[in-house]
């Protein structure tokens, strides 16, 4: 039996009503939504993107790329409408979400290369988007947080638009095992410990006796220098909790600015639903982007 206790506001998180609220989201009147495709990294490939544009804000605006979760095998950009709309309106910013290729049909590095492609496309089309190519940030949840961290390493090593801030929301960053994964092994809500190793292996296409790339499993990196300021969200009752704490320690050793929020009684991906804690956290994320876009530029 897992040794954890969800907080009161998260005990009914996995309810029919909450899932329906995510699926039936309607955009605010002051937000413009554009669906389109952009060229992918492979010949004849197209990547679906969803663009969130504040109607009233004067540009050029900062730009944020949002990467959804789903264990690398599921999910779409529609998962994140509530928090992405809040970012777009309150920072304010142009936010671009993408549907990257999913495993097992597409294994590493396909999803990461899709993210690299859209990241560079945003810079190259900043004028069209009403965005500022000098103020660009990342936001990723779960597997999307993994892709944000992998992208940060990739940009450091290979060049690309500067990342002003990377927000990693209950991210998958390691291979395990960890104390939190063992605690949540059998009956943790939404994500349990026994799901983790298989999910990473599906994304990698199997380990095949080799060490994984740190672009795929960021915590195996030897060198964490040169990474962007990072906002880390961890949940007490999440099998991925300790991976975030390990990643934070790596960044701090390199004197990289880190803001950590470890939420008591919360479960993996808890802020997909607007509980009071999620609303409080969303305001903190807005302020963090404003700090990095307008103060430390």
Q: Which of 97, 142, 166, 178 is catalytic?
A: 142
Q: Minimal CA–CA distance to 289: which of 164, 122, 183, 112?
A: 164
Q: What share of the chain is helix, strand, coil (3-state, %, to 5)?
A: 40, 20, 40
Q: What is the pLDDT of residue 1?
A: 44
19 or 264, higher pLDDT? 264
Which pair of structure tokens corresponds to residue 162? 């500067």
Q: What is the pLDDT of residue 180?
A: 61
At residue 87 the predicted structure's pLDDT band, cuts being 50, 70 and 90, is very high
Q: Minimal CA–CA distance to 128: which of 45, 57, 61, 66?
A: 61
Q: What is the pLDDT of residue 207?
A: 78
pLDDT at 193 over 60: no
Q: Which of 68, 86, 250, 268 is catalytic?
A: 268
pLDDT at 15 over 80: no
14 is catalytic: no
Q: Minimal CA–CA distance to 172: which of 142, 127, 211, 139?
A: 142
Q: Could you please report the per-residue DSSP string of 54-85?
A: ESS--SSEEEEEEE--STTTS--GGGGHHHHH
Q: Minimal CA–CA distance to 88: which of 69, 120, 61, 49?
A: 61
At residue 12 the predicted structure's pLDDT band, cuts being 50, 70 and 90, is confident
68 is catalytic: no
In Å, how far from its chain's centre is CA 157? 20
Q: Which of 238, 242, 250, 261 is catalytic?
A: 238
**Global confidence as pTM:** 0.92
178 is catalytic: no
């Amino acid at each position: 039996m897992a040794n954890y206790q969800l907080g009161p506001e998260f005990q009914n998180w996995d309810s029919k009503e909450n899932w329906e609220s995510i699926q039936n989201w309607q955009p605010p009147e002051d937000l413009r939504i554009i669906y389109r495709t952009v060229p992918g990294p492979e010949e004849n490939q197209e990547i679906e993107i969803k663009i969130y544009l504040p109607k009233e804000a004067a540009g050029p605006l900062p730009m944020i790329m949002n990467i959804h979760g789903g264990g690398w095998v599921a999910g779409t950009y529609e998962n994140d409408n509530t928090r992405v709309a809040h970012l777009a309106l309150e920072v304010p910013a142009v936010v671009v979400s993408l549907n990257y290729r999913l495993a097992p049909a597409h294994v590493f590095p396909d999803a990461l290369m899709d993210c690299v492609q859209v990241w560079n496309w945003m810079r190259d089309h900043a004028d069209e988007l009403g965005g500022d190519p000098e103020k660009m940030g990342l936001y990723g949840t779960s597997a999307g947080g993994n892709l944000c961290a992998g992208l940060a390493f990739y940009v450091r090593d290979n060049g690309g638009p500067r990342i002003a801030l990377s927000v990693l929301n209950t991210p998958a960053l390691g291979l395990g095992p960890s104390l939190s994964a063992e605690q949540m092994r059998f009956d943790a809500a939404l994500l349990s410990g026994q799901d983790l190793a298989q999910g990473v292996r599906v994304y990698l296409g199997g380990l095949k006796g080799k060490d994984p790339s740190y672009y795929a499993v960021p915590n195996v990196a030897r060198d964490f220098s040169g990474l962007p300021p990072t906002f880390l969200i961890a949940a007490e009752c999440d099998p991925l909790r300790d991976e975030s704490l390990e990643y934070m320690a790596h960044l701090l050793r390199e004197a990289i600015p880190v803001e950590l929020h470890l939420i008591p009684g919360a479960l993996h991906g808890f802020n997909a639903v607007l509980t009071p804690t999620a609303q409080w956290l969303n305001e903190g994320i807005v302020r963090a982007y404003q700090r990095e876009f307008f103060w430390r530029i």
